[in-house]
Amino acid sequence: MDENVLLALGLTLFAGMATGIGSALAFFTSRTNTKFLAWSLGFSAGVMIYVSMVEIFVKAKDALVGEHGESTGYWLTVIGFFSGMVVIALIDRFIPSVGNPHNVKTVEEFHMEPTHDEYARLKKMGIFTAVAIAIHNFPEGIATFASTIQDPNLGIAIAVAVAIHNIPEGIAVAVPLYFATGDRKKAFKWSFLSGLSEPIGALFAWLILLPYLTDTMFGMIFAGVAGIMVFISLDELLPAAQKYDQTHLAIYGVVSGMIVMALSLLLIM
């Protein structure tokens, strides 16, 4: 097996399993470090936006222009970019609000003892959230895999950014299930399983897409990946950071993420 394939599969597994870190944080801490979490979410958004617009979009355009000429290639890149946004927006649109992982919670909110009537609702919310996160993580797995195959350094940066934003999603799955069932193991298991769709997406890309990865296919996938990541950053990461009332720290995190990503790309030139 090609070394890049092994690295790509390993990175997507790492990113997906970060939901388990969120579970652990929720179970073993009594307070949310909102400043760090807001900065981290902003940092992840900064990495995603910068790498999408400066690196991934450009690679997609180069591949498509090389195959189809300047005008057609650029048009295909733009179409692929906004198609990625439409795909992830449709996924969000059809996920019930009770299970939408964008509705980020703090640890403190889950440490309040529910009433008897709330147990069923909490269990339903936790399961819906796990399913929603699994759906979101599938295209992220494809994105991380495809990026790593093309450029391992780029894949590592994307995997780290995805892993950071998976941590609060793990909290959103595990804690309501824990309070509904009283079973930490069951709650952790659901959180763990929701992250598995990340490497499943990578396996899909490897087994189904890789044999057909022509320059045109690669360019369209990369353009779509760029759109997905920008949409996730604007629709999920930044609003989630702002919910912690740490807007300035979130923006500082965005700038820090962009700087780190820019420096890393410069250093590997």
Quick one: 11 exposed, middle or buried, by C-beta within 10 A (0-12, 13-18, 19+)? buried
Residue identified by tokens 């097996």 is: 1
User: What's the pLDDT score for residue 65?
Assistant: 95
Query: What's the predicted TM-score (pTM) here?
Result: 0.68
User: What's the pLDDT score for residue 248?
Assistant: 80
CA separation, residue 246 to residues 38, 129, 253 (Å)? 6, 24, 11
User: What's the pLDDT score for residue 67?
Assistant: 92
Tens digits of per-residue pLDDT, 208-263? 887 777 788 888 888 988 898 888 888 877 776 676 655 688 888 889 889 987 88
- Taking only the tens of pLDDT, the chain with its 269 residues reads 577 888 989 999 998 888 888 777 666 655 556 677 678 778 878 888 888 898 889 988 998 999 999 999 999 999 999 999 998 888 777 765 544 444 555 545 544 554 555 566 666 666 776 777 777 788 788 878 888 887 887 788 778 878 877 777 777 777 767 776 777 787 788 888 888 888 999 999 888 887 777 788 888 888 988 898 888 888 877 776 676 655 688 888 889 889 987 887 777 65
| DSSP letter for each residue of 100-163 | -TTS---HHHHTSPPPTTHHHHHHHHHHHHHHHHHHHHHHHHHHHHHHHHH-HHHHHHHHHHHH
Residue identified by tokens 């073993």 is: 28
Residues in the chain: 269
Q: Is 140 annotated as a binding residue?
A: yes
Q: Is 137 annotated as a binding residue?
A: yes
Counting other chains too, the contacts that 250-254 makes at CB distance below 8 Å and 24 or more residues apart are: 250/38, 250/39, 250/41, 250/42, 250/45, 251/42, 252/39, 252/42, 253/38, 253/39, 253/40, 253/41, 253/42, 253/43, 253/44, 253/45, 253/46, 254/42, 254/43, 254/45, 254/46, 254/49
Cβ–Cβ < 8 Å for 78, 60:
no
Q: Which of 258, 244, 228, 208 is nearest to 92 (CA)?
A: 228
Q: Distance between CA atoms of 216 and 154, rounded to whole angstroms? A: 20
User: What's the pLDDT score for residue 32?
Assistant: 53
User: What's the pLDDT score for residue 39?
Assistant: 80
Q: Is 165 annotated as a binding residue?
A: yes
User: What's the pLDDT score for residue 122?
Assistant: 64
- Coil, strand or helix: which one is 26? helix
* Mean model confidence pLDDT for the chain: 78
End-to-end C-alpha distance for the chain, whole angstroms = 27
Q: Is 166 annotated as a binding residue?
A: yes
Cβ–Cβ < 8 Å for 202, 9:
yes
CA separation, residue 77 to residues 57, 60, 227 (Å)? 8, 6, 10
Q: Distance between CA atoms of 164 and 167, rounded to whole angstroms? A: 6
User: What's the pLDDT score for residue 195?
Assistant: 84
